[in-house]
Every structure is written in structure tokens, then in C-alpha cells.
Amino acid sequence: MHVVVTGGLGFIGSNFIRDLISENSDIFITNIDAETYAGKKDNLTDIEKKKNYQYFKGNIQDYDFIENIVKTYKPDAIINFAAETHVDRSIKSSQPFIETNILGTHTLLEVALNQKVKKYIQISTDEVYGSIEPPGKFIEVSQIKPNSPYSASKASGDHMVRAYYKTYGLNTIIVRCSNNFGPYQYPEKVIPYFISLAMEDKKVPVYGDGLNVRDWIYVNDFCWAIALVLEKGKTGEVYNVGNDSELTNLELTKKILKRLGKPESLISYVEDRLGHDRRYAMDSTKIQKELGWKKKYNFEEALDKTIEWYKNNREWIERRTKQTTFNK
């Protein structure tokens, strides 16, 4: 099988490529990435010379560029990880989110349709659903109610994906996931950001009262879910992927500090994010029952692994910018 992965130098995309290649010698991957601030080639230096991997630099909005690759290599599937993802950045400037998450998705769908690609998978987010009160959880038919420019752009892309299935019969699937964490995550996101700050005994900025709730999933568990969707996901379907590991941002921060042996006095409460969703929670029953997915890592174990990776890869962190605030 030949798979085109867009955004494959980013956090989830690079982990997915690494996992898929290591477990499937019969899969060939063509990786396309624009090499923005969050997507760097050193995320995949360990596999860049493998015979079943190739890489092209370019934007997913560039129709001719994408079409040329798909025409030349005739992939069986396109998996779109490429996206602007940071909520704070979308609040400051939404234009890049419109260009990549909406126009880029449209370009990929057009190419997939015109070149008769067998399967198109859109990687989306729980944020498209908006906020939900406990004990409720989002299911695949929950109403879409995005509350930030980022989530609105992702929701728009999802709607376009559905339209190409309904109107043109393109084999599309949407996968929505809760907060991912793990190695190679750009250090503007809350877990690597707080780890990098705490290691240097700097204040960690917690938004508002710190009681916003997120469900956390280890990136390799999500990558396995995507691999199952690639293998046997059903045309036109949406699959939610969650981990049943809900924590307030404050609880998460305290866990990180404790593991690093740092005092809670490093916590600094800052002005809340505009439009900050209070709680996300995903119901993964569908992907578990239909495709046989279940998590392999519990949260505590995965957090230990993640902290250890960042402690051992300070050079990697130093090569990235730290001028940011935090995640979802």
C-alpha cells in the first residue's frame, strides 16, 4: 500500500509515520510538509533513509504540486495531518488557519477526487464540538459548535470532507481525537511547554482558575487508531478517539511538577484565554466496537515516558521557540 501523509513532519504525523513504517514493511509512505515552525525534518531523521519512505516539501494549498505527486505515485490513500493547530495563534491571527485548514483541505479533496484516490482520511479534533458539561461526552453525531478560529477552521474542513463524500462519493473518513501528548510535540503545547519551563525553574502559566478539563491520550495510541481506520474504516464515517483520562489543567500541572521534583510555587495564574472551552470529553465506543481499538498506555505511564523523553532531548527543545503560551 502507498500512503501520502500530509503534515508528516509535525507532532502526530511524524509519530504516525514512524509507527506505521516500523510495523509494516509492505507500506510505502510519501510525506509532504511545508516545514513551518512546528514541522521540522529532524523529527524523522531516524527513518528518512528507509527505502519505503520519501519526502517532498510543499504546501497543501498548491494544487499543481499536490496533483503532480499524486499523479506520479498513484497512492492508495491520503491522510491529512497538515494543519495550523495552536488556539492562541488563531486568536492573534486567523488567516493561516483559513489557508491551511480550509483551503488546503479543499485542495487535497479536489486532487483525491480528480485522481481517483481510493481513501481520504481527515485528522480532526474534539474542539470542533465545542464545550460539554459533565458527565456528558461527545459522540460522532454530536452537534458541531466550534468556539475559536482554530476549531472553526477545522470544523469547516470537516464539513468539506463530508460534502465530498455525500456529493461526489469520495471515500472519506474523519477521525477526531482528544488532546494528544508524547515525544516530538512542539513546545508551545501545554505538556512539553510546562516541562521545558519547569526544568529551568521558570514559572508555568496556568490560564484562569486552572479548572478547564481535557482528556489526554498518548500519541502512539492515537496513531494506532488511525492505522486501524486506514485498514478497515468505513466510507463516510466519523470516529472519535478518547482516553477517559480527564484532568483539570491544574491537576495536570501539579503532576508534571511533582515528577520533575519542582515546587507548586512555580504555578502562575494568568488571564484566561478568550473563548476558552471549559471541558472536552470524547466517547470512543464506536471505534472500539467497530474496529477493535483500545488504548495500550494508561495516562500515568505515558506521562512518565513523555517527561523522560523531554528530559533526554533538551537540545531538541532548544532548537524550537519557547515564545508562546499554552495548549487547549
Q: What is the pLDDT of residues 172-182, one digit of tens each?
A: 999 999 999 99
Q: What is the pLDDT of residues 268-312, one digit of tens each?
A: 999 999 999 999 999 999 999 999 999 999 999 999 999 999 999
53 neighbors 29 (Cβ within 8 angstroms): yes
Annotated active-site residue in 55, 84, 120, 126: 126
pLDDT of residue 37: 92
Average pLDDT of every residue of the chain: 96
Quick one: DSSP state of residue 180? E
Q: Under CATH, to which class is 2-180+216-241 assigned?
A: alpha beta
Annotated active-site residue in 55, 129, 150, 239: 150
Q: What is the pLDDT of residues 137-148, one digit of tens each?
A: 999 999 999 999
Instruction: Identify each DSSP E strand in the chain by its residue range.
Output: 2-6, 28-33, 53-57, 77-80, 119-125, 172-177, 179-181, 204-207, 213-218, 238-241, 246-248, 267-270
Active site residue 150: yes
Angle at CA 226, nearest 5°, toward 60 and 9?
A: 40
6 neighbors 32 (Cβ within 8 angstroms): yes
Q: Which residues, other chains included, contact 68 with Cβ-Cβ below 8 Å and sequence gap of 6+? A: none
Q: What is the pLDDT of residues 28-77, one digit of tens each?
A: 999 999 999 999 999 999 999 999 999 999 999 999 999 999 999 999 99
Q: Amino acid letter at 52?
A: N
pLDDT of residue 324: 46
Annotated active-site residue in 127, 158, 246, 277: 127
pLDDT of residue 28: 97
pLDDT of residue 321: 57
- Residue written as grid cell 464540538: 129
Q: Which residues, other chains included, contact 27 with Cβ-Cβ below 8 Å and sequence gap of 6+? A: 1, 2, 3, 20, 21, 52
Q: Identify the CA nearest to 149 among candidates 193, 101, 114, 217.
A: 101
Domain residue ranges in the chain? 2-180+216-241
Active site residue 127: yes
pLDDT of residue 6: 98
Grid cell digits, residue 106: 479543499
Q: What is the pLDDT of residues 220-265, one digit of tens each?
A: 999 999 999 999 999 999 999 999 999 999 999 999 999 999 999 9
